[in-house]
Chain A
Amino acid sequence: MNRAAIVGIGHSKFGKRMDVSINELAWEAVKPALDDSGLSQNDIEFHAVGNLGFWSEELLPAVTVGEYCGFNSGSMKTEAACASGSAALKVAYDSIISGNTKIAMAIGVEKMYNSPNPTVIELIGRAGNYFWEFENFGLTFPGYYALYATRYLNEYNASEYDLCLASIKAHHYGSLNPNAQFQKEISYEDCINSKYIAWPLKLYDSSPITDGAAAVILASDKVAKKITDTPIYIDAQGYATGSANLSRREDFTGLNASKRAAEMAYKRAGIDDPKKSFDLFEVHDCFTIAEVMAYEDLGLAKKGKGVQLLREGQTYHDGKFPTNSDGGLKAKGHPIGATGISMAVEIAKQLRNEAEKGRQVKVSKGRALSHNVGGTGHYAYVTIFSRSD
């Protein structure tokens, strides 16, 4: 098996991007990734595009983006809901480690503002077990996570105030990330007084609707070393699928798929103690409660103790478990199919010590992890990255 390394990264500005089309937005990530690697389009042997779509007009973004950016490679679009980007990464990674390609690209792009907000809310709410959840009971995406939040807060004596700590942290790092959708700090009051969208979750517990693109170029070990002095290796990926209908979940205090994906990734990468192994965690905080559950599902905190990490500030960039130093989905934004690739870009940037002032983590272990969830624990991808050979 070959090793695969990230040799080029690119990231667009996230936000409401009605100044560009989906192809132009992808270009904003693809072009810098090519520049970063020094490669040209003809070097790319395969490209996968993470995209959920529906809200934007192009049904075949792997084709339209590929042509617009000048690729001659084979391609496909990947769908794993909000983890579609990590699924694209998996396709590129697998193609390298299998020896099928030497250089491949994973792109994530989403154009959510091409449809009106209520339509987007409706479409995301349908991502579950359609007839048995949406058709009859009108679930929304916040609604699904709220079912987890209610049970978690009740079971572990945590409060809406605790959840706000995650939001405040996210906005702090968003303010330091030039690519983030939200670039201002928020106060406790801003969060706790924001209106309910799906009780007990409020507007400030929720990631926004976002347009954005991100891209990474992967190369096999030998090729990577010729291209760059700072290859960022992908050591392992773990993945799992959860039940479609939430009524088939065992409990509502953690995501079973996340746990299984993490176990697989740890085993494959030879990680014995996740608490001692990583400089940075990029976790899927589509809602504040999701970040708390991620701490526990990844093994950083015992069941019910995830909120304690927030209370102690242990997940700030200078804490014990630096998490989402880029603002996370909450403040950086959550362009569905781009999120998984955006996590990979942030990790590469951090492990190369290239992050902006005030949010660069201390790189001592040389390893970082991304945790990308699709839907409400429907899909889970955990990817482990390292900068050493």
Chain B
Amino acid sequence: MDEIFFDKRALELKYQMPLGKISEFFKGLENGKIMASKCVDCNEIYFPPQANCPNCIKSKIEWVELSSDAILETYTIINVKPTSFLKYPDYVVVIGKLKEGVKVLSWLEIDDFKKIRIGMKMKLKVVKREENYYTYEFYPAE
């Protein structure tokens, strides 16, 4: 039989993530808006938003609200979940393409998984999670 030593030193990892440079995004969520950052110089739109523009190597950005209309590009259903998501029932992760051309990865809230199809219309909305923070999710729009 294999001799195993069980570690007596447990490590809890919970990161503290500095998001101050894109705080407008989180303020937007609280007001029901999903914002992207846009470079004032080259007009590139960034989602996930970022504070610096690698495109023209400048850092002057403005905030634009994204339209909520999207088309489903691809999806999966997460059946075997990570430990920190075990409390959720199976969830659908999709990538949707917005009118502006940017793509967003998020959950799709839908009761009947059989109704999901590539090309379906979706709406992107702000949601409040049970952990008491705001994020965004897609909903069917057809």
Interface residues of A (CB under 8 A from B): 18-19, 57, 118-119, 121-122, 125, 129, 131-134, 136-140, 142-143, 146-151, 154, 195-201, 245-248, 252
Contact = CB atoms under 8 A, between A and B. Distances in A.
Contact of B82 (A118, A195, A196): A118
Contacts, number: 95
Interface residues of B, number: 33
Interface of B: 2, 4, 7, 17, 19, 47-48, 73-86, 88, 91, 93, 95, 102-107, 118, 135
Contacts of A122: 82-84
B106 A137 contact: yes
Contact of B80 (A19, A136, A140, A200): A140
B74 A198 contact: no
Shortest Cβ-Cβ A-B pairs, 3 listed: A146-B76, A138-B85, A122-B82
Contact of B76 (A19, A57, A199): A199
Given A122-B84, A138-B78, A199-B79, A143 B93 contact: yes
B78 A143 contact: yes
Contact of A140 (B19, B82, B106): B82
Contact of B88 (A138, A197, A199, A247): A138
B103 A247 contact: yes
Contacts of A149: 76
B2 A18 contact: yes
B73 A138 contact: no
Nearest to A21: B5
8 contacts: A57-B7, A125-B82, A132-B48, A140-B78, A146-B76, A147-B74, A147-B75, A196-B77
B48 A198 contact: no
A252 B84 CA distance: 27
Contact of B105 (A57, A197, A247): A247
A140 to B, nearest CB: 6
Contacts of B7: 57
Contact of A147 (B19, B76, B80, B107): B76
With a 10 A CB-CB cut-off, give which of B77, B79, B107 has the most chain A CB atoms: B79
A278 B103 CA distance: 38
A199 B2 CA distance: 36
Contact of A197 (B2, B4, B73, B80): B80
A198 B79 contact: yes
B105 A121 contact: no
Nearest to A129: B48
A375 to B, nearest CB: 15
Contacts of A196: 77, 79
A136 B102 CA distance: 19
A247 B86 CA distance: 24
